[in-house]
Amino acid sequence: MQNKLLIIIPVLNEVNNILPIIKKIFKFLPAKKKHILFIDDNSKDGTREKIYLAQKNFNKIYLIKRNSKLGIGSAHKVGLKWGFKKKYEKIITMDCDGTHNPIYINRLLKKLDTKRCQIVSTNRFLDKNSLSDWNLWRILLTKFRHKLIQFFLKIQYDSSGAFRGYLVKNINIKDIFLAKNNSYSFFWESIFILSKKYKIKEIPIKLPGRLSGASKMKIKDILSAFFYLIKVYIKK
């Protein structure tokens, strides 16, 4: 019997967010139809131990353990490769920090139709109040990045977000791996590449503030993403 749905959640030092995200997923989705895969980049705060505990109390929770911080994009690639190999029908990718509300998963799944689209992403800019819980600096930075990507790559999607859905049987995993970046730029690079071959649709989403812990994105990540964007622009 083919597995129906895999939810991929990369984590790094998210100990206080593991159980809340699992409980919310189980609240909004039937237990028999979904599996959850965590990819842990060698967390030091007890995240991995919290996942072990969750595995004892919830069915169908899996963990890929990595021995160093290899990047959020790399984690998504590993998770997607695992899901495609296991032949899931649909895959959802999301963050663990509480900003991606599992209530939207069903909306993503409804959009994943063989005739309409193969990939569904969330868009933070369709609702003018979507980022109202964020501080001004983060709002300005997010919107500026969005405009830069639109300008250089001529794509209209909200391409830098991780909350997405994939219709596995209609996607060649090799196309996803054409995105070479293993950090945050993986998200917009993969959309840029996939949009040339696949139908992509979006749903509006409201993003609250982080539930617990701190953002992993640093100034060096922002600068690295900008220079990588220029590199992709020159080569396109």
Answer for the pair 155, 235: CB distance below 8 angstroms, yes or no: no
Q: How far apart are CA 78 and CA 10, in angstroms?
A: 10
Answer for the pair 198, 117: CB distance below 8 angstroms, yes or no: yes
By residue range, what is the domain housing residue 83? 5-235
Q: Tens digit of pLDDT for each residue in 80-114? A: 999 999 999 999 999 998 899 999 999 999 998 76
Residues (pLDDT < 50) of the chain are 1
pLDDT at 1: 43
Block residue for tokens 């159980």: 19
The CATH code of the domain that includes 192 is 3.90.550.10
3 state SS of 87: coil
Q: Count of domains in the chain?
A: 1
- Burial class of residue 188 (count of CB atoms within 10 Å of its CB; 0-12, 13-18, 19+): buried
Mean pLDDT, the chain, rounded, equals: 90
